[in-house]
Amino acid sequence: MKKTLLGLCTVAALTLTACSSGPDSGAEADEPTEITVFAAASLTEVFEDIADEFKAADENAPDVKFSFAGSSDLVSQISEGAPADVVATADEKTMKTLKSDDLLAGDTEMFASNTLTLAVADGNPKAIKSSEDFTGNDLVVCAPQVPCGAATQKWAELNDVALDPVSEENSVTDVLGKVSAGQADAGIVYVTDIARADGEVEQVELDGADKVINKYPAATVKASENQKQADAFVKFLGSDTAQKLLRDAGFAAG
């Protein structure tokens, strides 16, 4: 009898252990270990820092993997079914495209804003002081379908400036790269790009740039299989911690 009871107890203990360690033992077993965030190129450095703080704030938070590109490219990729959990664009227009196509879940979080400025080569060898000096110098801008390009066109129209760029790039980081590499004399970028250029370029203010401000929205992608975690990251962008990092990087409030 003792052996029988011992055997039953052993079986029961083993069964309990198996149940407690199985896939249905709790929500944590099903928590994703990683989410993918599609973000505008101008957010590259600051989003890496925000992701570190997001993880530090909650030991159960997933790691964050990024795909940075021009906002229009991000929209195209998500529209074509690219796997993403969160998307953050550099203007409202690109996000509205995803919203109108029913590709987003819930509301968007307006977490930052940015303003245009002019990047010139280190030392400003061409002595470019304003848009009046564009003539005769190689100017690079973002393509019209990219948020910084759309903002550039709007700025030019509002200030009656004729643009004759030598190239139009698909992301603001490409514009900055052309200037810092000496392949262009000047490029219209965001103020945050100057801040992250580590002294490789100099800033020349654009008169009237404050009339054209890009607001940055973020949202959870409807096709995401990690909605809860994606929502948490989007919400975190509005936290004091994330907002301080954004301000330190040169962004203004959304």
Which of the four CATH numbers 3.40.50.1370, 3.40.190.10, 3.40.50.620, 3.40.50.300 does domain 114-209 have?
3.40.190.10
Residue ranges of the binding site for molybdate = 42, 71, 172, 190
The pLDDT value given to residue 33: 86
> Smallest Cα–Cα separation from 86: which of 116, 69, 66?
66
Token readout for 126 is 């061409």
Per-residue exposure over 200-235, b if at least 16 CB sit within 10 Å of its own CB, e if not: bbbbbebeebeebebbbbbbbbeebebbebbbbbbe
Q: Where are the domains of the chain?
A: 32-111+213-251, 114-209
Name the pTM for this structure. 0.81
CATH of domain 32-111+213-251: 3.40.190.10
pLDDT in tens, 6-15: 343 343 443 4
pLDDT in tens, 87-124: 999 999 999 999 999 999 989 999 999 999 999 998 99
Phi, psi (deg, nearest 5) at residue 43:
-100, 5
The pLDDT value given to residue 254: 82
Ranges under pLDDT 70 in the chain: 1-30
Cα distance between residue 122 and residue 172, in whole Å: 18
Q: Compute how many other C-beta atoms are within 10 angstroms of the C-beta atom of residue 249.
A: 20
Whether 114-209 and 32-111+213-251 are alike in CATH topology: the answer is yes
Residue ranges of the binding site = 42, 71, 172, 190
Cα distance between residue 134 and residue 27, in whole Å: 59
> Smallest Cα–Cα separation from 65: which of 242, 235, 229, 203?
229
